[in-house]
């Protein structure tokens, strides 16, 4: 696992966006062989999306031959609701770049048969040859997508009941009223994320510091689902200094030394 530590959220977001753009460009995607991205919502990726839009506007990356699969969506919330993940993705990324609408895949939390919706989503990912690159964030309890503590580490796309903690954390988007936050969501599984050829998790801010410590310094544990990244052959954590505050000094020093070169040189597009 690579751990990249940036001074702050801005520099971290910039690096992640450049990294993704570079991956897309190196793949030279075509309509027949598109680049397949897994994408998250939440505050963690907003800076990355902003930078990706800037790179697109500068002509440095195109999403014409990119297919996306989002991680999750609330159940029973209309797509036009400002807190739906559909709305979020168009607001922060898709409306600002050249991705064809038909290349965007987001779970439908209003489907009549939610189990079937999840099965079809997994099938569609397979039809595309799997996900090349999964970007993610984490909750303060170390969950990825909506794979709450206690989720199976081999789980696939399915319905999950959200923990009170997660609903409380997300109440800030629902007039600070926890009862307005949906109780269930559709989410890709930990196994779905880990099947991607590369996984990059953004960890920003002090409230994620305990989760980062568990992910990096403790063992693989279903109570901190992000810890499964330890078993991925190409797992990257991109974090800021604040998120490292619970790591051992020696751990931080070790990973900083390894990445000195990468920190000094932003990837050239």
Candidate segments 21-29, 57-65, 135-143, 222-230, binder of ligand GLP by CB under 6 A: 135-143
Q: Describe the crossing of helices 9-27 and 46-57 by its angle, rounded to 10 degrees.
A: 50
Give the span between the Cα atoms of 136 and 223, in whole angstroms.
17
Between 29 and 42, CB nearer to ligand GLP: 42
Taking a C-beta distance cutoff of 8 angstroms, is the pair 248, 239 a contact? no
Answer yes or no whether residue 146 interacts with ligand GLP by CB under 6 A.
yes
Longest dimension (CA), the chain: 52
Candidates 48, 84, 157, 166: give the one binding ligand GLP (CB under 6 A): 166
Say whether 148 is catalytic.
yes
Taking a C-beta distance cutoff of 8 angstroms, is the pair 10, 47 a contact? yes
Between 63 and 85, CB nearer to ligand GLP: 85
Catalytic residue among 51, 117, 132, 141: 141
Q: For 48-63, give one letter per residue: b (16+ CB within 10 A) or e.
A: bbbbbbebbeeebbbb
Closest CB 72 distance from ligand GLP, rounded Å: 5
Catalytic residue among 72, 117, 122, 240: 72
Between 29 and 137, CB nearer to ligand GLP: 137
Catalytic residue among 86, 143, 232, 240: 143
Tell me how long the chain is.
Answer: 269
Say whether 96 is catalytic.
no
Candidates 29, 38, 47, 137: give the one binding ligand GLP (CB under 6 A): 137
Between 23 and 208, CB nearer to ligand GLP: 208
Answer yes or no whether residue 19 interacts with ligand GLP by CB under 6 A.
no
Say whether 141 is catalytic.
yes
Answer yes or no whether residue 38 interacts with ligand GLP by CB under 6 A.
no
Say whether 165 is catalytic.
no
Active-site positions? 72, 141, 143, 148
Instruction: Enumerate binding residues for ligand GLP (CB under 6 A).
Output: 40-44, 71-72, 137-139, 145-146, 166
């Amino acid at each position: 696992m690579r751990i990249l530590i940036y001074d702050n959220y801005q520099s971290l977001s910039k690096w992640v966006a450049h990294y993704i753009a570079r991956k897309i460009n190196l793949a030279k995607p075509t309509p027949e062989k598109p680049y397949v991205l897994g994408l998250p919502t939440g505050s963690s990726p907003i800076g990355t999306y902003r930078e990706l839009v800037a790179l697109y506007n500068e002509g440095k990356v195109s999403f014409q031959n990119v297919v996306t699969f989002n991680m999750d969506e609330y159940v029973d919330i209309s797509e036009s609701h400002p807190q739906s993940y559909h709305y979020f993705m168009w607001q922060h990324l898709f409306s600002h770049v050249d991705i064809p609408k038909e290349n965007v895949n987001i779970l439908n939390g209003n489907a009549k048969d939610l189990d079937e919706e999840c099965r079809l989503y997994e099938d569609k990912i397979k039809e595309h040859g799997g996900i090349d690159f999964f970007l993610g964030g984490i909750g303060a309890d170390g969950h990825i997508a909506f794979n709450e503590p206690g989720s199976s580490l081999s789980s696939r796309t399915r319905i999950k009941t959200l923990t009170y903690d997660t609903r409380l954390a997300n109440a800030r988007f629902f007039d600070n009223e926890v009862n307005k936050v949906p109780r269930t969501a559709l989410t890709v599984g930990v196994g779905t994320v880990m099947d991607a050829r590369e996984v990059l998790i953004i960890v920003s801010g002090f409230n994620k510091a305990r989760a980062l410590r568990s992910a990096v310094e403790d063992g693989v544990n279903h109570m901190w689902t992000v810890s499964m990244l330890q078993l991925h052959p190409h797992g990257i954590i991109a974090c800021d200094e604040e998120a490292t505050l619970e790591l051992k000094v020696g751990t931080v020093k070790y990973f900083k030394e390894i990445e000195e070169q990468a920190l000094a040189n932003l990837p050239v597009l």
